[in-house]
Structure 1
Amino acid sequence: MITCDVAIVGGGLSGLYAARLLRKASIDVVLIEARAHLGGRIRTVDDKGQPAEDGFDLGASWYWPHIQPAIGELIAELGLSSFTQNTDGDVLFERMSREPVHRFSGMRQEQASRRLVGGTARLINALTCDMPADRLLLNHRVTEMALTDTEVCLACQSSDGLVETIMARHVIAALPPRLLEATVTFTPALEKTDAVHWRETPTWMAPHAKFFALYERPFWRDDRLSGTAQSMVGPMVEIHDATTSSGKAALMGFIGVPAAQRRLIDEETLVKACVGQLGRLFGPLAAKPQVTLLKDWATDPLTATEADVASGGHITAANEPWVTGAWQKRLTLAGSETSSQEPGYIAGAIIAARRAVEDVCG
């Protein structure tokens, strides 16, 4: 059995940042993550789909420091570097399959999107480096939480089937509310209004899929194209230049086929359709990528539930409390979706983590 002051469930950005803040306050923390790696919906990989220090963001990628100061402050605090998302050049628009592709002059963005040098996982790695190994449980999935008079008892099942018990004075659940409600049993039961609130809160990224086509060089720039395209034809509805700061060339697109329909399409067919679309938009060179990557978050059981597959919905900031009743004094939610500002974004994860730590430290 492990004992601690605070157990954090979820090793994504919010959970790791909350752990950092609590440790600075000399509070004993144990962080529990169901995956074999940290980062949650932040995942940076190389051309083989493996974790990389300089790669492509399968999940969260952009941030806007002028309107999201919380994430800008943390990036500066950690000494990380960033660069501006490429938007130089014209934009393409595909309205109907029987029409030619439309080309428009690109518009200068006053609040340009930014990306981290090396990928968003650099943020995760920076937050992880000072986390003691003996207070970090990977491959452990929390299945039950039970209240005692003074603590919370957490049952955690490891990947090899063993069950670990953790006793904590307080729990911070740094994962999507919908996922928490669907995968953890609470004793006593949650208030019905809380359970409904969690269940009806969409999980950011859960219904989405991202496709990457990697190339030897960003040839579209030679034709004064920004790499940005929008399509009403598909399968991708929105495409961007995903070239890294080190020059690894790529185009990335958000697939517009709903998650439920994607289940009926094999990956090879979907990839072929995406490559064909890039060829229509950007020419013959785009139809011959060196490598393709596909991440369908709706198939990730540690991100999405059946409710996310059925309908994604739009995340809005909620004013009502996330936890009431018997659990109110022992449980705090800190997933990005629970943030009072920028819910669902990486900035929201930072804001939610700060609020959770304030709640614990009182």
Structure 2
Amino acid sequence: MSERFDFAIVGAGIAGASLAAGLAPHGRVALIEAEDRPGYHSTGRSAAFWTESYGGPRVQPLTTASRAFLDQHGLLTERGALTLARTDEAEGLAAFVREFSALGVRVETLGRAALERRLPGLRSEWQLGAYEPDCCDIDVAGLHQLWLAEGKRLGTELLCRARVIGARHGADGWTIALADGRTLHARVLVNAAGAWADLVAQAAGVAPLGMKPLRRTVAQLRMDRTVPSTLPLTLGFDGSFYFKPEGGKLWLSPHDETPSQPCDVAAEELDVALAIERFKVVLNWPIAALEHKWAGLRTFAPDRLPVYGFDPTARDFFWFAGQGGFGIQTAPAAAELALGLLLDEPRGTVDPEPYSPARFR
């Protein structure tokens, strides 16, 4: 027995859920998820924050354009972001401030005294910083559930434990085979499979784009002192760490990017130890205990920009992948951009051209 849909979306994380909610008023939608529940992988493991410089200047338009939606739905909590630099990084930090200021991002240079006020216990080697006051924490679960609920209300059919093993395009669209023996038919096949995006493409007979899943580690520490709730998201200008407060604890990462196969990835002891050592170089806070550790996969296209659009070599195959570590903070604008392409009615303010899969063909 087979079912017919207008749109079949592979992957029910934040990307797939956002598109399902947007497409549901325009046709019958199947949201296909290989796991027992949506958001099990990257979406459910995010230490998500919204900060306009994260991901670089070519991702910034998507981040900035997402702010209004996140504000409207009460999904942001003020945090602030502080990028730390050593004296020998002064020139690079100044260029960072100039570049993002020119894009309309609020960012200012701070000296040592201002750094100490925001980060008590800061070690002496950190003399400079760039502060972004508009950085916020994102309620990731709330955002994901908002879109899942909207999709369900509008008739989206969520299929869990449904792994795609093959797909072929014919005269009436896509025929999609699932591992449990079911078959679906859909006019358009949307690839929102995250770390599995290239594998889904290959299952559909579409050439992969060279997506690279990279492991990112996060550790949760209980400190032997009060962690101020006002502590900013703190990042190293050299990309070697970030940390932030969360529920009275401290979340920190060595900002690792270890190549991985698509899988249920777990934190490695070496990466956790590296995160702790890098934190000790920044603040002189004693650590009481390591309470929790986890890892997620951040998947990038070869040029580290997301991929949104119809594949120019495969009819009715739409890429919505490669969001790296900025997929949550850019999700509202990315969904608007993709919906405009899928429905052939341009939406939003972000130019889709830099993110087209045609750039790899």
Same fold (TM over 0.5): yes
Identity of aligned residues (%): 15
Q: Is the 8 A contact 2:267 2:294 kept in 1?
A: no
Which residue among 321, 340, 346 is the counterpart of 1:335? Answer: 321
Report the CA distance shift for 1:9/1:346 in structure 2 as closer, same or farther (over 3 A). Answer: same
* Structure-2 residue corresponding to 1:323: 311
**Contact 1:94/1:101, CA 8 A, preserved across alignment:** no
Higher strand share: 2
Matched, 1:131 2:137: no
Name the CA distance, whole Å, in 2 between partners of 1:28 and 1:361.
Answer: 13
1:214 to 221, 242, 265: 221
Contact 2:79 2:137 in 1 (8 A): yes
- 2:69 maps to which of 67, 70, 74: 74
Task: Describe the superposition over 1:175-220 as per-residue Cα deviations: whole angstroms up to 9, x where unpaired.
Answer: 34x7333344456x43xxxx2xx423x45xx314132233268746
Which residue pairs with 2:50 in the alignment?
Answer: 62
Equivalences for residues 47-196 of structure 1 within 5 A? 57-58=46-47, 60-64=48-52, 67=61, 68-77=63-72, 79-87=73-81, 91=84, 102-104=125-127, 106-109=129-132, 112-116=134-138, 119-132=139-152, 135-157=157-179, 162-176=180-194, 179-185=196-202, 189-190=205-206, 195=207
Tell me the alpha carbon deviations over residues 66-109 of structure 1, each in whole angstroms, 9 at most, x when there is no partner: 953432233245x2231222447x947599xxxx8613254432
**SS of residue matched to 1:179:** helix
Task: State whether residues 212 and 251 of structure 1, in contact with CA within 8 Å, keep that contact through their aligned partners in structure 2.
Answer: yes
Aligned pair count reads 294
**Is 1:20–1:127's contact at 8 Å kept on the other side of the alignment?**
yes
Residue 354 (str. 1) matches residue 336 (str. 2): yes
CA RMSD of aligned residues (A): 4.0
Give 1:24 deviation, angstroms: 2.7
CA contact (8 A) 1:11 1:32 kept: yes
- The letter for the 1-side match of 2:15 is S
How far 1:293 sits from its partner (Å)?
1.4
Normalised by the size of structure 2, how large is the TM-score?
0.66
Do the aligned partners of residues 350 and 106 (structure 1) sit closer, same or farther apart at CA in structure 2, a change above 3 Å counting?
Answer: same
Secondary structure at 2:163 match in 1: strand
Superposed, 1:216-295 pairs within 5 Å as 219=226, 228=234, 230=236, 237-241=240-244, 243-244=245-246, 247-256=247-256, 258-259=258-259, 267-283=268-284, 285-286=286-287, 288-295=288-295
Q: Which runs of 4+ in 1 moved over 6 A?
A: none
